[in-house]
Amino acid sequence: RKVKKGAAGRGCGGGTRTRALGDMGVGTERLVNFSAGPACVYEDVLVKAQEDLLNFEKNGLSVMEMSHRGKAFTRIIEEAEADLRELLGVPDEYSVLFMQGGATAQFAAVPYNLGWSDDVTDVGFRPRADYLTTGSWSKKALAEAKKVGVDANVVATGDNKSIPLDAAAWDVNADSGKKSKYFHVCANETIQGVELKGLSPRSVLDEAAGGIYQGVPLVADMSSNFCSKPVNVRDYGVIYAGAQKNVGPAGVTIVIVRRDLLGAAKVGTPTMLDWTVAAENASLYNTPPCFSIYMCGLVFKKLLRLGGLEQVEQINKKKCGLIYDAIKQSQGYFACPVDLKARSAMNVPFTIPESEDLEKKFIREAELQGLINLKGHRSVGGMRASIYNAMPMEDVEKLVAFMKDFQAKN
């Protein structure tokens, strides 16, 4: 069936499905994609993009063909920024940047832009920065900072199933003689399925070790839970996120940075990692990922139509709750390795304890049912259901039904 023009479309909050692809020349139905990224996109957003693909709003060109400095694309990128600011409540004292290189490039950009603010020319200085490592991606960010020349202090390391937020137990290295230039966290570890939630990381910092982190910018990699729930942007000096999980296709990385932190990049910082260059050129220093930005803009409008991030968060809680409840109700047949307080609303890892053969069978038979990309990351094994914003409730229900059926037969 086709989505009628203007219909809500498939996706959280959507009512009309577009499962059949015959009109597109594809002899199958759309699959249920539990990939950790690139992830599923709202189907009505895809349909709108399809409509615009050859001739964007009667301009005679595709977005992929038009000049990034022309009037049409200027409106696209300005609307995308305005809608994102509305969604997240981004204050005027923050810049919104559309960059490239994924969150991985920001692992280096963060220290380059924040580490040498006292003297950008003292390239031999090793500034201190603090890292809370809770999984694979925060560890990669730590490793990149060390490459750049940062004296990185690890305050605590998670056990892949919980978040060490007890600041009294942190190694704050108070005797180092250096004030931290920033404190880095990963808001949601995609691989392990652990998420910072509930307690504000900013409040934890302000109370830690007699105020040692007072005034220290909090930096958060929000790649896998960006725009999945409201956040207080003012708690952070920097927020960065790859788009390819919750807000669009791969190719664009969104950076939200407090303006007073700009203008202090280390001498020799690569141009494409310098936030000040990006801000001064409105993210147009060179040709940006135009189509990815356009798609993000469509997603932002979709999220606003759904009622904003408060409503999106409630939908996401219901979706992940279905899977976590199914795991609990299986009475040990399925297990989730993550502590209750840290369980991610975006990435749900689960196992069939002590039976890798059954896990392989589960993944294989799920694929035959059109439920794809459920295999856990190679570093942790098991299964993982990534259920980002665009994953429809009905497809989560389909997974839960399959889990129950599989248990009954095996």
Long-range pairs, 308-312, Cβ under 8 A, ≥24: 308/87, 308/230, 309/87, 309/88, 309/227, 309/228, 309/229, 309/230, 310/230, 311/13, 312/12, 312/227, 312/228, 312/229, 312/389
221 belongs to the catalytic site: yes
Residue from 245, 302, 319, 375 carrying the catalytic annotation: 245
> Burial of 389 by CB count in 10 Å (0-12 exposed, 13-18 middle, 19+ buried)?
buried
**What CA–CA distance (Å, rounded) separates 289 from 58?**
21
Q: How many residues are recorded in the chain?
A: 410
User: Is 83 designated active site?
Assistant: no
Paired residues of 371 in beta bridges: 32
The single residue of 44, 83, 116, 137 carrying the catalytic annotation is 137
The Cα 81–Cα 74 span in angstroms is 11
For CA atoms 310, 315, 320, 322, give the dihedral sign: positive
Residue 119's identity, in one-letter code, is D
Query: Which residue type is seen at 191?
Result: I
CA distance 295 to 397: 27
Would you call 317 a catalytic residue per the annotation? no
Spatial contact of 245 and 36, defined as CB atoms under 8 Å apart: yes
Token pair, residue 95, equals 């810049």
User: What's phi and psi for 289, nearest 5 deg?
Assistant: -75, 80
Report which residue type is found at 92. Answer: D
Catalytic residue among 44, 83, 221, 395: 221
d(CA 94, CA 128): 24
Q: Which residues contact 274 (CB under 8 A, 6 or more apart)?
A: 109, 112, 113, 265
Contact call for residues 217 and 175 (beta carbons, < 8 A)? no
The Cα–Cα gap between 240 and 254 comes to: 6
Beta-carbon contacts of 81 under 8 Å, excluding residues fewer than 6 positions away, are: 96, 98
Rounded CA separation 182/131 (Å)? 9
Residues that are catalytic:
137, 221, 245
